[in-house]
């Protein structure tokens, strides 16, 4: 498919390809929808196999950001930037400053923050060339607060899912398998431990699992290849997306899927199959919305404590999504998308009202 065909399929406004031969920068900035406000989305750096894979990742993730902001009652649109390169070897100050200049050229249509493969140091270089960096990246507290807020939001969403499936929101005694214990996954393990949950962890990096087990002695470690064979109440993917496919969907031994990873499903078809099997899939763009609550509606930073308080709203949002899902007898991800589209349509109509008349020179 051509780029325009893919944009039409996903409903995008703009896709920008950026190239700087002096630094080796190859970036794609996808702006999905700006009806509610500037497109907000992270900058991800990954050594994609092909240009097509990089483009599709940018398109899928930016669309998820649109839905996330709309369902979470935020005044931002959806965007995403992907840097096609090796985060272990291709980074430099000039690389990220070049990227920052491309962002600045968009005139405020895209606002970014650190994501997979990038960190606060990288974003400091970006910020030297543009102000279009989300203010919560500047730090509302100790380093890593953003991951804590996201993990706490996932915890709140899990409780809403447990209420729908088991009749109680209490996580005590629930067996939870966490796939990926990086920053978000490890904080989620801590929150779940405090709630009295039984924790099972898996990661391709052994040291990451060992750090969690050092804090939570009874956390069980399993091999990554055994993740789908592990019986549990909740499966929590907190690593890369696209992990649940038509080939492994029947292997799942859980009642709820709820994690911080984006684009967990290979396709919508997989989501429908989960629904048919009676497995509740918490929409990724709803349950991982904690990062959005680290700034106010006008993208002003808030305190860490206020961020946590705002992240609790994910429980109520998830309840509304699940109620809509039950009412319409559709998977929760489809119900959440419809709710997002409805808000965008309603606010979009209001914004046709002219507020700044042009100077006519009369």
Active site residues: 80
Residue 19's φ and ψ, nearest 5 degrees, are -140, 130
Residue 234's φ and ψ, nearest 5 degrees, are -130, 130
Helix (H, G, I), strand (E, B) or coil at 113: strand
Angle at 210 between CA 204 and CA 211, to 5 degrees: 110
From CA 83, how far away is CA 43, in angstroms rounded?
Answer: 7
Q: What is the dihedral of CA 249, 255, 259, 261, to 10 degrees?
A: 10
Q: Are strands 77-84 and 39-46 parallel, antiparallel or unpaired?
A: parallel
From CA 25, how far away is CA 85, in angstroms rounded?
Answer: 8
Residue 93's φ and ψ, nearest 5 degrees, are -60, -45
From CA 216, how far away is CA 185, in angstroms rounded?
Answer: 13
Q: Residue ranges of the alpha helices (H) in 89-181?
A: 93-104, 120-127, 145-166
From CA 97, how far away is CA 127, in angstroms rounded?
Answer: 8
From CA 174, how far away is CA 297, in angstroms rounded?
Answer: 35
**Sheet containing 77-84, strands listed edge to edge, beginning at the edge strand earlier in sequence:** 14-20, 25-33, 77-84, 39-46, 110-114
From CA 259, how far away is CA 79, in angstroms rounded?
Answer: 21
- Residues 6 or more apart whose CB falls under 8 angstroms from that of 300 comprise 135
From CA 220, how far away is CA 209, in angstroms rounded?
Answer: 9
Helix (H, G, I), strand (E, B) or coil at 199: strand
Task: List the beta strands (DSSP E) in the chain.
Answer: 14-20, 25-33, 39-46, 77-84, 110-114, 175-179, 198-202, 220-221, 234-237, 256-257, 280-281
């Amino acid at each position: 498919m051509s780029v325009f065909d893919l944009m039409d399929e996903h409903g995008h406004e703009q896709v920008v390809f950026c190239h700087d031969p002096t630094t080796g920068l190859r970036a794609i900035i996808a702006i999905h929808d700006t009806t509610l406000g500037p497109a907000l989305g992270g900058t991800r750096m990954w050594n994609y196999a092909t240009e097509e894979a990089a483009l599709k990742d940018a398109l899928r993730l930016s669309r998820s950001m649109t839905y996330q902001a709309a369902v979470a009652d935020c005044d931002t649109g959806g965007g995403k930037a992907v840097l096609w390169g090796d985060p272990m070897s291709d980074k430099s100050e000039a690389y990220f400053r070049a990227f920052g200049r491309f962002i600045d050229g968009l005139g405020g249509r895209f606002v970014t923050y650190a994501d997979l493969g990038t960190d606060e140091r990288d974003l400091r270089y970006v910020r030297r060339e543009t102000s279009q960096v989300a203010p919560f990246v500047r730090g509302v507290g100790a380093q890593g607060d953003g991951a804590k807020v996201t993990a706490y939001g996932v915890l709140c969403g899990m409780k809403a899912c447990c209420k729908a499936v088991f009749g109680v929101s209490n996580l005590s005694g629930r067996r939870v398998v966490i796939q990926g214990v990086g920053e978000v996954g490890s904080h989620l393990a801590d929150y779940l431990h405090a709630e009295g949950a039984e924790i099972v962890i898996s990661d391709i990096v052994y040291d990451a699992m060992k750090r969690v087990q050092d804090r939570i002695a009874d956390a069980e470690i399993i091999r990554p290849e055994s993740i789908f064979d592990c019986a549990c109440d909740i499966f929590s993917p907190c690593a890369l997306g696209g992990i649940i496919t038509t080939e492994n969907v029947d292997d799942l031994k859980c009642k709820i899927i709820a994690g911080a990873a984006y684009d967990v499903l290979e396709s919508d078809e997989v989501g429908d199959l989960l629904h048919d099997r009676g497995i509740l899939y918490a929409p990724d763009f709803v349950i991982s919305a904690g990062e959005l609550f680290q700034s106010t509606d006008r993208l002003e930073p808030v305190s860490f404590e206020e961020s946590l308080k705002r992240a609790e709203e994910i429980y109520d949002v998830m309840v509304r999504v699940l109620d809509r899902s039950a009412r319409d007898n559709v998977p929760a991800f489809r119900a959440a998308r419809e709710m997002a589209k409805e808000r965008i349509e309603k606010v979009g109509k209001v914004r046709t009202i002219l507020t700044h008349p042009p100077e006519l020179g009369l």
